[in-house]
């Protein structure tokens, strides 16, 4: 069973109800703590079923008021405990150094005392629990005695406070807050809007706003200072930094989705929370930063995520302006640069911190994205984030700008939203060849959009990225794959060269090696050495070609043509094997299974090419001629020529069948009426090379001679022996009757009729005008000419030519669309004329197709519990294969101020309508209560 299955099984058995009852009625802190841990275990991973069970139980049984009061009270007690402890700790901070100087032997005394006071962990926990319970009771008693004195509980437990201060440990009242906040975070996991709002308002007589209480707790644990935000390091230490991180994570989960009400609640709260979160990002947080920089980085990472969550999916600038209120842009940029430099130092030291979530560069990246979002509302910050100036640290801004992408998506309410996100590292493994292939071959659908095909190919591209990442671990295969086009060019050039040698010198009987004169031989050696020197000194393609040509010529005259051809063929086979390795390495053919490998036409083509190379090497040189067809594969124009025949192949075949039917009909007519006109001249072989019975026609071999008779009854075939014929009749011997049978008529009409420009009439006997069938022959010849030669053949040629023209126009149209139309939204270039954003900026920054692919990959590789609101929305849409989140015929930069104002006005009207509906619902509820009271008063 998976974790979710176990959780759901326990929920069916009543675990959720048990947890709620235990939390509300816990008799001791230990039971309460264990109950919270059980609740966390049930909700781990953001189980929506358990969340729904908690929500239903709390809303149906009307127990939410008591349930949330427990957490509210514990948060208040923890805040008071922190305030009491912080006053003691801060008062002793100034004397700490003096104590260390005066009492240098204190560590040794402590070490001497430790064996005396050793206790087990169980006893220690019991003592801490008892101490916490005592302090809690004492605090409650003092509050009842003197409500205005908030700091007395700390004074009443002075000994315990001193012990906690020495060990830098928090009391149990404060430490219990970490599981509590984790539980509240898991309640809102996966952006559960109902529970997010439920934590803020329970619709009871007494509402407990745990969102504000969590923010006040953060304010309290970080020092609760109003002017000394730079002194946060005095309050943050190794013991409470985990609790602060948990508080930040819980606040982040309250807001994401987005939950606009919780965002406003945090941003507009009267406490110092937003300023403290900002200070956590901007300050160094020493002395903790000197000992544990990893903890400080995690703190900054969570703080930046929280600020992004507060601004998430908002169309106004209110929250961003609140964040910018106490933030100096220069300090924020300096923090980004400093984080980048720390990451660079770690990278040079060999500590690869790039993979960790809280590595310096990743933290700097998150802060950079925060700055990018804030820059929309601050022109000074916007100008400072642009790299390219003379300021130190531009490498950091350039690095983050290169690895940051932005896209626009359409939400469910059809409003558009801009998303800025870090590009996943795996996207760097996408090859340029794959990019070009996708860019040029993605097909448009019926609506003229390429999004559907692009989305379907994204899965293959993601698999290719994973394979390319694995390929980097195999240097030899990667080197071969990287130079795949180079191996392909070598194969084609070798094929051309070998065919030239075969064409000019075959058969090779008269060609021998070593027949060159001395001065020509010396010239060849000189040319080869000079070209070698040029290649070594200045490696250029022309120099390499000259070296290869001179070397081949030298080989031909040194060892002979046939051995040279054999060497070239062997080299071509080896080169093709390397190319096949490159192809498999680039595409990961073997990793996709044998079925995919067999169905991969391109792989089979290269395999056949290798087989032909081997046959040319070991069987016969003429097989090399087949390698020249590689030109068709390499050139798109030739592919279009082939496609012009194959694309409308069915039309061409049907037209050819019509031509055969007409030829058959004309053959029947010719056999019946014009049999004697089918007399063709033939060229016989000489006697010494003639086959037996060569004097007889082809028809007489296969057919009976007595079938073909003239009108006078004489046989059409010559019966007289060849040697007895007089010289005047030799011309008649070179003529044959080719319509002795219907089959011969069909063959003659098909072969000679279709190949003659004027039809079958060009090869038949020329009749005299005095013959009775002269008019019939004219009609027969003309009908064949018009019906077969002019109409049918031109139909076939027309189909081929029109198809070629269509392919050419489609290619031109496709190129035009690629140049003038946005791949994502489909808007044309002229839409961006006289606008603030040019078409080039639009397709590079706003609707970059590769940024959309990177976002799809980000959703695939990111933990679902770490999703932001837009990421969660897009992940759900991808799961459903719904493409409505892609902007079609829309772009945020084209929205003018009027239409934007209209959109905002519509949104405001919608919000007012919703608030009016709530008021109407409340009024109807109050009216029903008044009616009930009136009815009761009557009775």
Q: Tens digits of per-residue pLDDT, 476-485?
A: 888 888 888 8
* Confidence check: pLDDT of 703 > 80: no
Give ∠ CA 145-146-150 in degrees, rounded to 5.
125
More confident residue, 116 or 147: 147
Confidence of residue 711 (pLDDT cuts 50, 70, 90): very low
Give the residue-averaged pLDDT of 882-891: 89
For helices 177-187 and 210-221, angle between their N-to-C axes, nearest 10 degrees: 140
Contact predicate 277/215, CB 8 Å: no
* Confidence check: pLDDT of 103 > 50: no
Confidence of residue 151 (pLDDT cuts 50, 70, 90): very low
Query: Which of 174-183, 399-408, 924-933 is least confident?
Result: 924-933
The residue extents of the domains of the chain are 425-473+827-895, 635-682+734-822
* Confidence check: pLDDT of 531 > 60: yes
pLDDT value for 144: 52
Give the residue-averaged pLDDT of 254-283: 87
Token couple for 688: 């010494």
> Highest mean pLDDT range out of 216-220, 245-249, 336-340, 819-823?
245-249
Alpha carbon distances (Å) from 154 to 87, 135, 136, 291, 333: 9, 8, 10, 29, 41
Give the residue-averaged pLDDT of 378-397: 74
Query: Mean pLDDT for the chain?
Result: 79
* Confidence check: pLDDT of 871 > 80: yes
Question: What's the rounded Cα separation, in Å, for the pair 831 and 842?
Answer: 11
pLDDT value for 138: 57
pLDDT value for 720: 43
Give ∠ CA 413-419-421 in degrees, rounded to 5.
145
* Confidence check: pLDDT of 249 > 50: yes
β-strand 404-410 against 416-422: which pairing, if any?
Answer: antiparallel
Confidence of residue 310 (pLDDT cuts 50, 70, 90): very high
Q: At 418, which helix (H) or strand (E)?
A: strand 416-422
* Confidence check: pLDDT of 108 > 70: no
Question: What's the rounded Cα separation, in Å, for the pair 6 and 43?
Answer: 11
pLDDT value for 544: 64
Contact predicate 606/579, CB 8 Å: yes
Question: What's the rounded Cα separation, in Å, for the pair 449 and 823?
Answer: 8
CA-nearest of 627, 636, 637, 635 to 606 is 627
pLDDT value for 150: 43
For helices 64-102 and 210-221, angle between their N-to-C axes, nearest 10 degrees: 0
- What percent of the chain is modeled with pLDDT above 90? 19
Confidence of residue 564 (pLDDT cuts 50, 70, 90): confident
Contact predicate 746/667, CB 8 Å: yes
* Confidence check: pLDDT of 701 > 70: no
Does pTM surpass 0.95? Answer: no
> Highest mean pLDDT range out of 246-260, 283-297, 346-360?
246-260
The 8-class DSSP code of residue 147 comes to T
Token couple for 599: 């169905």
- What percent of the chain is modeled with pLDDT above 70? 77
Contact predicate 873/419, CB 8 Å: no
Query: Which of 63-72, 177-186, 284-293 is least confident?
Result: 284-293
Q: How many beta carbons lie within 10 A of that of residue 449, not counting itself?
A: 18
Residue identified by tokens 């006289």 is 834
Alpha helices by DSSP H, listed for 208-317, are 210-221, 241-255, 260-267, 273-282, 288-291, 293-311
Query: Which of 64-68, 82-86, 186-190, 734-738 is least confident?
Result: 82-86
Confidence of residue 538 (pLDDT cuts 50, 70, 90): low
More confident residue, 668 or 928: 668
Distance of CA 61 to the CA centre of its chain: 47
pLDDT value for 523: 67
């Amino acid at each position: 069973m998976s974790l979710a299955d176990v959780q759901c099984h326990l929920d069916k058995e009543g675990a959720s109800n048990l947890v709620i009852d235990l939390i509300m009625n816990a008799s001791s802190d230990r039971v309460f703590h264990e109950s919270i841990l059980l609740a966390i275990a049930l909700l781990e991973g953001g189980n929506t079923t358990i969340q729904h069970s908690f929500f239903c139980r709390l809303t149906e049984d009307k127990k939410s008021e008591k349930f949330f009061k427990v957490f509210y009270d514990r948060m208040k007690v923890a805040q008071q405990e922190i305030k009491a402890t912080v006053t003691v700790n801060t008062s002793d901070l100034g004397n700490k150094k003096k104590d260390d100087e005066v009492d240098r032997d204190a560590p040794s005394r402590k070490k001497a005392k430790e064996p005396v006071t050793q206790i087990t962990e169980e006893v220690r926990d019991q003592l801490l629990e008892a101490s916490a319970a005592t302090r809690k009771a004492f605090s409650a008693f003092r509050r009842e005695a003197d409500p205005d004195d908030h700091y007395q509980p700390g004074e009443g437990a002075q000994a315990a406070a001193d012990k906690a201060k020495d060990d830098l440990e928090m009391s149990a009242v404060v430490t219990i807050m970490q599981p509590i906040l984790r539980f509240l975070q898991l309640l809102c996991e996966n952006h559960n809007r109902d529970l997010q709002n439920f934590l803020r308002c329970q619709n009871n007589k007494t509402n407990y706003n745990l969102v504000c209480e969590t923010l006040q707790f953060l304010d309290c644990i970080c020092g609760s200072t109003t002017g000394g935000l730079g002194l946060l390091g005095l309050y943050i230490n190794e013991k409470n930094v985990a609790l602060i991180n948990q508080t930040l994570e819980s606040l982040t989960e309250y807001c994401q989705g987005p939950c606009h009400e919780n965002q406003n609640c945090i941003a507009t709260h009267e406490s110092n929370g937003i300023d403290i979160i900002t200070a956590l990002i901007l300050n160094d947080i020493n002395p903790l930063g000197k000992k544990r920089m990893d903890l400080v980085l995690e703190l900054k990472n969570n703080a930046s995520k929280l600020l992004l969550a507060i601004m998430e999916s908002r169309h106004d600038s209110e929250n961003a302006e609140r964040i910018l209120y106490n933030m100096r842009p220069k300090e924020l940029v300096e923090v980004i640069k400093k984080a980048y430099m720390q990451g660079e130092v770690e990278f040079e030291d060999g500590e690869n911190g790039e993979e960790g979530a809280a590595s310096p560069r990743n933290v700097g990246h998150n802060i950079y994205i925060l700055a990018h979002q804030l820059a929309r509302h601050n022109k000074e910050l916007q100008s400072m984030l642009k790299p390219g100036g003379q300021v130190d640290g531009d490498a950091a801004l350039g690095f983050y700008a290169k690895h940051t992408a932005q896209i626009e998506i359409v939400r469910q309410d059809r409003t558009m939203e801009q998303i800025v996100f870090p590009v996943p590292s795996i996207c760097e493994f996408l090859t340029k060849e794959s990019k070009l292939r996708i860019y040029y071959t993605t097909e448009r659908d019926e609506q003229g959009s390429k999004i559907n095909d692009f989305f379907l190919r994204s899965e293959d591209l993601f698999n290719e990225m994973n394979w390319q990442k694995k390929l980097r671990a195999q240097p030899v295969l990667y080197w071969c794959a990287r130079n795949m086009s180079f191996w392909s060019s070598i194969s084609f050039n070798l094929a051309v060269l070998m065919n030239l040698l075969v064409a000019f010198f075959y058969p090779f009987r008269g060609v021998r090696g070593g027949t060159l004169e001395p001065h020509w031989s010396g010239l060849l050696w000189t040319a080869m050495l000079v070209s070698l020197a040029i290649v070594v000194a200045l490696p250029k393609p022309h120099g390499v070609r000259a070296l290869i040509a001179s070397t081949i010529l030298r080989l031909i005259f040194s060892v002979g043509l046939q051995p040279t051809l054999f060497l070239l063929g062997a080299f071509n086979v080896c080169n093709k094997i390397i190319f096949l390795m490159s192809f498999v390495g680039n595409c990961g053919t073997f990793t996709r299974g044998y079925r995919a490998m067999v169905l991969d036409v391109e792989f089979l083509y290269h395999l056949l090419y290798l087989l032909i190379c081997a046959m040319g090497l070991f069987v016969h040189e003429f097989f090399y001629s087949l390698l020249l067809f590689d030109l068709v594969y390499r050139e798109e124009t030739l592919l279009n020529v082939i496609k012009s025949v194959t694309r409308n192949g069915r039309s061409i075949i049907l037209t050819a069948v019509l031509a055969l039917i007409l030829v058959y009909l004309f053959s029947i007519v010719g056999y019946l009426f014009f049999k004697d006109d089918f007399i063709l001249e033939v060229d016989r072989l000489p006697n010494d090379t003639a086959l037996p019975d060569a004097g007889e026609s082809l028809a007489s071999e296969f057919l009976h001679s007595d079938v073909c008779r003239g009108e006078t009854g004489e046989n059409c075939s010559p019966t007289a022996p060849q040697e007895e014929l007089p010289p005047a009749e030799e011309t008649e011997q070179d003529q044959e009757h080719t319509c002795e049978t219907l089959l011969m008529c069909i063959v003659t009409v098909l072969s000679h009729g279709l190949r003659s420009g004027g039809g079958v009439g060009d090869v038949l006997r020329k009749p005299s005008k005095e013959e009775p069938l002269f008019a019939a022959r004219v009609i027969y010849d003309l009908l064949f000419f018009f019906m077969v030669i002019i109409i049918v053949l031109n139909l076939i040629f027309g189909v081929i030519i029109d198809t070629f023209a269509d392919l050419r126009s489609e290619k031109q149209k496709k190129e035009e669309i690629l140049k003038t139309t946005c791949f994502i939204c489909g808007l044309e270039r002229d839409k961006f004329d006289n606008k603030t954003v040019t078409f080039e900026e639009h397709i590079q920054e706003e609707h970059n197709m590769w940024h959309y692919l990177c976002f799809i990959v980000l959703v695939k590789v990111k933990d679902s519990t770490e999703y932001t609101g837009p990421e969660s929305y897009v992940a759900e849409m991808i799961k459903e294969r719904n493409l409505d989140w892609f902007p079609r015929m829309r772009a945020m930069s084209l929205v003018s101020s009027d239409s934007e104002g209209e959109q905002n006005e519509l949104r405001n009207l919608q919000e007012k309508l919703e608030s009016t509906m709530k008021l109407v619902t409340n009024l109807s509820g109050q009216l029903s209560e008044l009616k009930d009271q009136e009815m009761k008063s009557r009775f």
